[in-house]
Structure 1
Amino acid sequence: MESSNFNSSLLHFLQSSPTPFHATQSMKNRLLSSGFVELHEDHNWVIEEGGRYFVSRNGSSLIAFTTPSLDFFNTGWRMIGAHTDSPCFKLKPNAQVTRHGHHQLGVEVYGGVLLHTWLDRDLSIAGRVTFKTVTGDIKSRLIDFKKAIATIPNLAIHLNRGVNSDGFAVNAQEEILPILCDATNEFELKHVIQRQLEKEHSDIYVDLILDFELSMYDAQPPALVGLHDEYLCSARLDNLLSCFVGMEALIASNDERPSLLICTDHEEVGSLSTCGANGPFLEDVLRRLSPNPEHYVQAIQNSMLISADNAHALHPNYASKHDKLHAPTINQGAVIKVNNNQRYATNSETAAIYKDIAAQEGCNVQTFVVRSDMACGSTIGPITSGEIGVPTLDIGLPTFGMHSIRETAGSKDAYELYKVLARFTKRTNLIAK
């Protein structure tokens, strides 16, 4: 795949994946079209040599893997990890609010949202709806309004004179309720949801909306930006960018080594869930593939995980926020993330493996270490390595504005990471014992 085609497919993936449910469905569609077979956790599995498979949990997390050999305890796995969720606003169960002539939506902040970036944006709604059909069945389906249907207007500077000098703190309870329509129009949220559900799924006859998991999202499409298209600007780059890169690397693996992609939900809120990295999903899958306890431990110790999650690029307007010797630049290659307090799981051996592979591909490598006087974020890397004991590298693509409604990465970096990860899936030797 060429760089321009890669970025075009990436933009389409981002646009079609406004929620973790939609991202998982997008990955399912891509994997099915590439010859992967869907497995179901409540069925018996028949895994064959030379197979390509995937399984999902909760509709928002996915594990895909290839089995060129079934001798996992000798070959180990080449694993790539990412997460499907992004900071956002999620509708509360009783979301319908009417105030001062406007119908609004009560929302809950999910993850570490950069709140002010959501003001004055064109917002839409997507997610999962659970309902009872006219025949009495309970089902769930995805919906996506796609068009802009809401906004959160800023307060005029005339009513907030000190905003540019004193800063602007946004109250999450009172000041981020999206405005949906004016109160002269009749509005019942569940009726709106039901109409959208029946519009998108013509075979569904809904009797009653029972519940929903719906998120607000930026309706502006992703785009290449810059005089020479140097930048990729989009919502949810953290971390759908890594999901896409990892998926394409797995598809391109040519089945030379057993390889596995894990994309889990709820990383932005700690990963502790049935489908999160701090839950049992990955271990459940690996133990089904290596049911012998001795072989399972051997397989893990012959494996390596690359946890791919975005890294903080050196912002030219805020250069002092970086350690000047560990300040990665956009479009200069992926970033190895190091933290000796184990906020990242990188060690010298896993970093060395990545550097060696990158050199073979002619790709640049950068390093990020947070300033010693600042707190460090974390990823699924330490969680997964702590859960199953797999040697792990934390890496990411340099990004501006992480956790903003619209983030910025380099248009060259994703394709370079894809090339390195694709070679990683074929890697025979790790660290010599």
Structure 2
Amino acid sequence: VKPVSKREESNYLQVNVECYGGGIWHTWFDRDLTLAGRVFFRKPNGKISRHFVHVKRPILRIPTIAIHLKRDTNEKLEINKQDHLQAVLALKIEEELNKSTKEKDTASDGNKKLNDESKKHHSQLLQLLASECNCQTDDIINFDLMLADTQPSCVGGLNNEFIYSGRLDNQMSSYCAIQGLINSLDTLPDETFIRGVLLYDNEETGSESAQGAMSEFTQHTLRRMTRDDYERSVSNSFLVSADMAHGVHPNYSSLHDRDHRPSLLNGGVVVKTNCCNRYA
């Protein structure tokens, strides 16, 4: 969700969003979407509080254009991210009614000052966030929200051999790494080395943020932990970069190198190499 999310078109209220990473954008159409993330608001004592929000019902949708308005949509799909991927929140009439009520309330209290956030975001959106945080709309200072699919992940297939879910890349490796640490607790008394897992953010946009894998965070953290022993500790360490490998798509198998491809899902760990040094 952009810093200024208020957007209107043809009597629809929309939420202005920015596309994150290299997504397959047409898969976002016609899904029951919601919002999740962080909301920052001021408490009665003046302190700023952070509240994690995940609205548990569909409140947004990016509708596909009807076929009779774009006959060639099955032959070619051209997506303008600025225009075609803006999510519909509500009809404008409801906000107009709420606006009239709020103007009356404001007029009756000459000392009341509207929060600047009300100029950036639809009032109904702020009201929803306020109810999730148990605060007043005027107390909301800012938020960091993303659109999310409300359809839950599940196990499927005839023999329950598939995981139907988004975000497998790379929550799968993250989960397995943490679970591996937990499962190995009983062997810790005999361990002479340090076991650890590093989970980074922003891999989908290049990993170059302050919390990404390309940052100095890991080096600085290890130096603070080991001090003079840093160089010796690193040289004696075994580091694994764990990510997901693309399985062969049965409908597009020709797009894979026939001699170098994961030929079987659930076939074990995949080791990826590249002569251009694209992998760690």
TM-score normalised according to structure 2 size: 0.84
- 2: distance between equivalents of 1:207 and 1:133? 11
> Residue in 2 aligned with 1:298?
232
CA pair 190-212 structure 1, distance change in 2 beyond 3 A: farther
Q: Which amino acid aligns with 2:38?
A: R
Aligned pair partner of 1:283 in 211, 216, 219: 219
Aligned pair partner of 1:171 in 36, 55, 80: 80
> Residue in 1 aligned with 2:101?
none
> Residue in 2 aligned with 1:408?
none
Decide which structure has the larger Cα Rg and report it. Answer: 2
CA offsets, 1:45-78, max 9 Å, x none?
xxxxxxxxxxxxxxxxxxxxxxxxxxxxxxxxxx
Q: Which amino acid aligns with 2:203?
A: E
Write out aligned runs for 1:73-92 (5 A): 91-92=1-2
Does the Cα contact within 8 Å between 1:133 and 1:205 map onto a contact in 2?
no
> Residue in 1 aligned with 2:4?
94
User: How far off its partner does 1:191 sit?
Assistant: 4.6
- 1: distance between equivalents of 2:92 and 2:138? 26
Q: 3-state DSSP class of the match of 2:240?
A: strand
1:251 paired with 2:189, answer: no
Percent identity of equivalent pairs:
38
CA pair 153-198 structure 1, distance change in 2 beyond 3 A: closer
Q: Which amino acid aligns with 1:288?
A: R
- 2: distance between equivalents of 1:205 and 1:159? 43
Aligned pair partner of 1:139 in 45, 49, 69: 49
Structure 2 unaligned segments of length 5 or more: list them. Answer: 99-117
Does the Cα contact within 8 Å between 2:2 and 2:18 map onto a contact in 1?
yes
- 2: distance between equivalents of 1:290 and 1:206? 47
Does the Cα contact within 8 Å between 2:130 and 2:140 map onto a contact in 1?
no
Aligned pair partner of 1:337 in 265, 268, 272: 272
1:326 paired with 2:260, answer: yes
Q: 3-state DSSP class of the match of 1:290?
A: helix
Q: 3-state DSSP class of the match of 1:310?
A: coil
- 2: distance between equivalents of 1:190 and 1:290? 50
- 2: distance between equivalents of 1:118 and 1:250? 35
> Residue in 1 aligned with 2:110?
none
Which structure's residues are more often helix, by fraction?
A: 2
> Residue in 1 aligned with 2:103?
none
Does the Cα contact within 8 Å between 1:94 and 1:106 map onto a contact in 2?
yes
Write out aligned runs for 1:104-123 (5 A): 104-123=14-33
- 1: distance between equivalents of 2:123 and 2:194? 48
User: How far off its partner does 1:253 sit?
Assistant: 2.1
> Residue in 1 aligned with 2:111?
none
Q: Which amino acid aligns with 2:178?
A: M
Does the Cα contact within 8 Å between 2:30 and 2:61 map onto a contact in 1?
yes
Write out aligned runs for 1:183-202 (5 A): 183-186=92-95, 189=121, 191-192=123-124, 194-202=126-134
CA pair 279-266 structure 1, distance change in 2 beyond 3 A: same
> Residue in 2 aligned with 1:372?
none
- 1: distance between equivalents of 2:158 and 2:176? 25
> Residue in 1 aligned with 2:160?
229
Higher RCO (CA 8 Å, separation ≥ 6 residues): 1
- 2: distance between equivalents of 1:279 and 1:251? 27
CA offsets, 1:166-214, max 9 Å, x none?
x201110010111111112117646545544554445x66752222111
- 2: distance between equivalents of 1:117 and 1:344? 28
Q: Which amino acid aligns with 1:226?
A: G
User: How far off its partner does 1:146 sit?
Assistant: 2.0
- 1: distance between equivalents of 2:213 and 2:42? 31
Does the Cα contact within 8 Å between 1:132 and 1:138 map onto a contact in 2?
yes
> Residue in 1 aligned with 2:199?
263
Q: 3-state DSSP class of the match of 2:18?
A: strand
Q: 3-state DSSP class of the match of 1:130?
A: strand
Aligned-residue RMSD, C-alpha: 1.9
Aligned pair partner of 1:307 in 224, 230, 241: 241
Q: 3-state DSSP class of the match of 2:16?
A: strand
Does the Cα contact within 8 Å between 2:247 and 2:261 map onto a contact in 1?
yes
> Residue in 1 aligned with 2:108?
none
Aligned pair partner of 1:241 in 168, 172, 190: 172
1:316 paired with 2:250, answer: yes
Which structure's residues are more often strand, by fraction?
A: 1
TM-score normalised according to structure 1 size: 0.55
Q: 3-state DSSP class of the match of 1:126?
A: strand
Does the Cα contact within 8 Å between 2:127 and 2:137 map onto a contact in 1?
no
Q: Which amino acid aligns with 1:262?
A: L
Aligned length: 251
Q: 3-state DSSP class of the match of 1:289?
A: helix
